[in-house]
Amino acid sequence: MANLNKRGILTDPFCRRCGKEIESTDHALIWCSKDVEVWSSSVFWSLIADWKGLYCDELLRWLLSKVKMEDLEVFCIVIWAIWRERNCFIHQKKSRAAGETLDWVENFLLEFQNTKRVFKAKKGRNCSMSQLAWCPPPRGSLKLNTDAAVKHHSNFIGVGATIRDGDGKVIAALSKPISGIFTAEMGELLAVREGLLLVKFLKLSIQWVEVDASNVDFVVNSTDFLGGFAGCVIEDIKALSKDVGVLKCQAIPRSGNGVAHTLTALAFSYREEKIWQVGHPTEWNIPQDVQSKIIHLPPFCVQAGRPKKKRFKYAGEHGNGKTRNCTICKKSGHNRQNCKNAQPCQAPQPCPSATSATSKRPRRPYKCRKCGEEGHNLQKCPLASEVGGTT
């Protein structure tokens, strides 16, 4: 606080709550008269009164040797609550009594511990490995698979969801980035909520939801109420599940959730929400905000039965599968380039016309224009010299 005052950011250096002393970090968190009312009502006042130090960080190091780790967590939450009360008083002109502040600390710590206990994976509780691949739901029903990907040093996560019917056909798929830094469990919960929102937007009804995190399906199926942001997301999931008709949420291995996992990777490539609508039921009434994000894939047909192996064509085979004979030996199975009966090629003979065209032509003799004989021209003609010169 004093440094902000030196740089001119704070014009009044005194505490805005008590107005008696210069506001420093130690005064704002511990020694202000409003803070003393909170500390004196807590179990830490006897330790703070005996402390002879000057700075708040020294008090924390001193408490490490005096109290347990659980009590130190409570101490840190009280400091946070005091700082929160200071900001509310300065910006919103609101304040509450010391007893109400300590009640808020107790309720917040209880919600935090309940959420931490539920999300903690229990030893020996693993999803069944008997289902190594994705299993389709019964005919006439739909199944939702969701997944989330959390990357370090990234300010968003990727979620993916796919809806498939009893034949394994993809009805719709979703790939979406969500801004924020979340844990893996929180990302899985957000993925389930986004998948259920997609189902509700498309006005579908699903019966099963599958994730690849065992602790997520446990908290979704639980009837306990959880506080905090995770509790709000879980309540949204339960409400959406009731609207779309979900019967069960279960955990499966990663090998059975490959499509949803691939869609999470696309979220980091597109950096925007994408919805693929593969099936085209006529009863769908899609909202305009969702319609603008849908990518219609061209219809395709998959042949029933075992896929055929790719067969390479032999030499001499036609494109339609019929064979043709070699032009040299008239046998099938090869062409003229691979024929063993082909005669070795002789050296090509030069073309006579080409040779005569490239050779030097003989020079034609000159004829005299005076006498018509060859061997001389008009200047050397004897008849011209007798007459007295050339004309």
Average pLDDT of span 281-297: 46
pLDDT at res. 314: 47
For residue range 219-265, list pLDDT tens digits in order.
777 766 666 777 788 888 888 888 888 888 888 888 788 888 888 88
Task: Report how far residue 180's alpha carbon sits from residue 156's, in angstroms, rounded to the nearest whole number.
Answer: 5
Per-residue pLDDT at 370 exceeds 70: yes
Higher per-residue confidence, 85 vs 218:
85
Task: Report how far residue 115's alpha carbon sits from residue 22's, in angstroms, rounded to the nearest whole number.
Answer: 40
Cβ neighbours of residue 208 under 8 Å, at least 6 residues apart?
137, 141, 142, 143, 144, 246, 247, 248, 249, 250
> Is the CB of residue 236 less than 8 Å from the CB of residue 125?
no
91: confidence class by pLDDT, cuts 50, 70, 90 = confident
Q: What is the DSSP string of 44-73?
A: THHHHHH---SSHHHHHHHHHTTS-HHHHH
* 172 sits in which H/E element: strand 170-179
Per-residue pLDDT at 26 exceeds 80: no
- Sign, CA torsion 242/245/249/255: negative
> Is the CB of residue 277 less than 8 Å from the CB of residue 161?
no
Q: What is the DSSP string of 96-132?
A: --HHHHHHHHHHHHHHHHHHHHHHSPPTT----TT--
- Give CATH for domain 143-296: 3.30.420.10
Share of the chain above pLDDT 70, in %: 68
Tell me how many degrees the CA angle 139-140-144 measures, rounded to the nearest 5. 90
pTM value is 0.48
Per-residue pLDDT at 284 exceeds 70: no
Task: Report how far residue 88's alpha carbon sits from residue 96's, in angstroms, rounded to the nearest whole number.
Answer: 10
pLDDT at res. 125: 45
What is the distance between the terminal CA atoms of the chain, rounded to a whole angstrom? 124
Task: Report how far residue 238's alpha carbon sits from residue 30's, in angstroms, rounded to the nearest whole number.
Answer: 43
Enter the tokens of residue 300. Answer: 């395709």
pLDDT at res. 50: 72
Tell me how many degrees the CA angle 345-351-353 measures, rounded to the nearest 5. 165
> Is the CB of residue 212 less than 8 Å from the CB of residue 185?
no
For residue range 92-144, list pLDDT tens digits in order.
878 788 888 888 888 888 777 766 665 554 444 444 444 567 788 888 888 99
Hunting for tokens 């700075």 — which residue is that? 55
Hunting for tokens 């699903």 — which residue is that? 206
Boundaries of every domain in the chain: 2-119, 143-296
pLDDT at res. 129: 43
Find the helix packing angle between 214-221 and 98-119, rounded to 10°: 120
Higher per-residue confidence, 308 vs 55:
55
Average pLDDT of span 315-339: 68
Mean pLDDT across the chain: 73
Q: How many other β-carbons are positioned within 10 Å of the β-carbon of residue 9? A: 9
pLDDT at res. 194: 92
pLDDT at res. 220: 73
Strands 170-179 and 274-277: antiparallel
Task: Report how far residue 189's alpha carbon sits from residue 71's, in angstroms, rounded to the nearest whole number.
Answer: 31
Higher per-residue confidence, 60 vs 350:
60
Distances in whole angstroms, Cα of residue 29 to Cα of each of 1, 40, 71, 109, 362: 12, 13, 18, 19, 118
Per-residue pLDDT at 152 exceeds 60: yes
**Coil, strand, or helix at residue 66?**
coil
Average pLDDT of span 35-41: 83
